[in-house]
Chain A
Amino acid sequence: MRQLIFSFFCILIGINIAYCFSGVVNAPMQSMDTIGIWMLKAKAISLGPSSLNQVLHSSIYSYSHQQYPLLLPAIFALVGNIFGHFQELPGLLISPFVYSAILFICYKTLRAKLPSLLVIMLTYIYSMFGPLLAEGGRINAGNADIYITLCAWIIIFVLLNWANQKRALLIAALTIAIASQIKTEGVFLAALLIFFPSPWKKKLLPLLLALTPTVGWQILIKVNSLPSDVYLSLAGPVTLFMRTLTVLLGTAKEMFNVHNWYIFWPWLFVVGALTKPTLKPSPKWLAISLGAMYFGFLSIYILAPPQLPTATYVSSSIDRIMLQLSPLVFGILAEVFHQLIVRETPPKQTLPTE
């Protein structure tokens, strides 16, 4: 019976993967972010330095966030030119593969702590998240957030499962470095390394390695005078308070967005409420990292320039932010279920030896 249920969930996950591939093949480029930012720069890279220079400096393309790092467009350009001339489809087809990789790493991460049947169910629940399916190939293929989500999963996998090995910190640092070059906010993943329970002596060098590309890119922005459409502006305390409230309410509202998350967040709160009295708050570092990353995003929202109304900014992006934070939530969830199972399972009785 267990094998049958396991196979059933595998089939359901397979359907979702096929659904993503079908989305990319049938309606390849539908997202305005893909057209306006990522694929635009990929096309410019393919056309050569003068086109890239034009896209990165001309005010016509100011909507494309000219200060964003170029790693993802470079990958799209590389893959897009595989048949000799630039095409969008090969780059967009990476998204369903990333979606599949995320589900695989999700399964492997949770499997280290939980029984296979529970893990496959949680992986299936994760695979049904609307923003993940969208970026996996349904409408939003080619967006960057799914790549940062993959990086977050890799970091959590290595830090949870290879915690005692030297390579864990190094792989985590390299992954943060890559995430920071996909989208600037990828650097927030450094919180996982900062709060990971390991001596600072061991963490310092990996942390420097993780942050170096961000510093390097910021220097390149200055040297090349790349225009930036995003800057931070400090408002008065009342405005900041109101904006904070707007962000928190926007996040809470998104948690009840059934279209995107079904009943995941309410379900999570019920799980928390039912299990809290019996559990110790662990692993603390994941919860603190989650809080720190959320605080980072909150800061961007509340310090945004006044021409960008907070409510509009939040409603247009909070689902993608929650997708980026979801691997941390699942890491905590795995620990909660692990504690429950350990507590509920009676210790095996050993037979007395004669």
Chain B
Amino acid sequence: MHKFARTSLAVLCIVYVTILVMRSATYALRTAKEFIHPNRDTYLPQVQPCQKLATPSPEQSHLQNYRNLGQPCAN
């Protein structure tokens, strides 16, 4: 392979991996933080089994169907 192409490829690889390593550092910090202070925050809407919802969003509806399954209100 041409010397220029080989050098370009090497530089590109180094840049790419450097970006990833910086990202990995944030993952390491986040994992350590989660280990020390477990964060049980959820992105899900708060829905209780058999709770009556006026106009549920698709997410609320799916979650409620899941929680209701096996409960008397599922029928």
Which A residues have a C-beta under 8 Å from some C-beta of B? 12, 15-16, 18-19, 22, 25-27, 29-30, 32, 35-36, 39-40, 43-44, 47, 51, 54-55, 60-61, 63, 121, 124-125, 128, 139, 262-264, 267, 270-271, 274-275, 278, 340, 343-344
Contacts and interface: CB of A to CB of B under 8 A. Distances in A.
Given A262-B19, A267-B12, A267-B16, A19 B44 contact: no
A22 B69 contact: no
B42 A343 contact: no
B31 A270 contact: no
Contacts of A271: 9, 12
B55 interface: no
A270 B35 contact: no
Chain A interface, >50% SS class: helix
Given A15-B27, A22-B31, A125 B40 contact: no
B39 interface: yes
Contact of A40 (B35, B41, B69): B69
Given A15-B28, A121-B17, A271-B9, A26 B38 contact: yes
Given A12-B21, A27-B42, A274-B5, A18 B69 contact: no
Q: Size range of the interface on B?
A: 35 or more
B54 interface: no
B48 interface: no
B1 A51 contact: no
Contacts of A60: 65
Interface in B54-72: 58-59, 62-63, 65-66, 69-70
B8 interface: yes
A139 B30 CA distance: 14
Nearest to A40: B66
A44 B65 CA distance: 11
Interface string B1-45: 100011011001101110111011001101100110011111110
Leading 6 A-B pairs by shortest Cβ distance: A36-B62, A274-B5, A19-B27, A22-B34, A15-B28, A22-B31
A51 B70 contact: yes
A35 B62 contact: yes
A132 B22 CA distance: 18
B31 A30 contact: no
30 contacts: A12-B20, A15-B27, A19-B28, A22-B35, A25-B38, A27-B43, A32-B58, A32-B59, A32-B62, A35-B44, A35-B62, A35-B63, A39-B66, A40-B69, A44-B69, A54-B74, A54-B75, A55-B69, A61-B65, A121-B13, A125-B20, A139-B43, A262-B19, A263-B16, A270-B8, A271-B12, A274-B1, A274-B8, A274-B9, A344-B6
Contacts of A40: 62, 65-66, 69
B31 A12 contact: no
Contacts of B40: 26-27
Contacts of B21: 12
Nearest to B17: A121
Nearest to B40: A26
B40 to A, nearest CB: 6
A292 B19 CA distance: 33
Given A15-B24, A22-B30, 12 more contacts: A12-B20, A18-B31, A26-B34, A26-B39, A26-B40, A27-B40, A35-B63, A47-B69, A55-B69, A63-B58, A270-B9, A343-B1
Contacts of A51: 69-70
A87 to B, nearest CB: 13
A208 to B, nearest CB: 38
Nearest to A61: B65
Most chain B beta-carbon contacts within 10 A, residue among A19, A124, A139, A278: A19
A26 B74 CA distance: 29
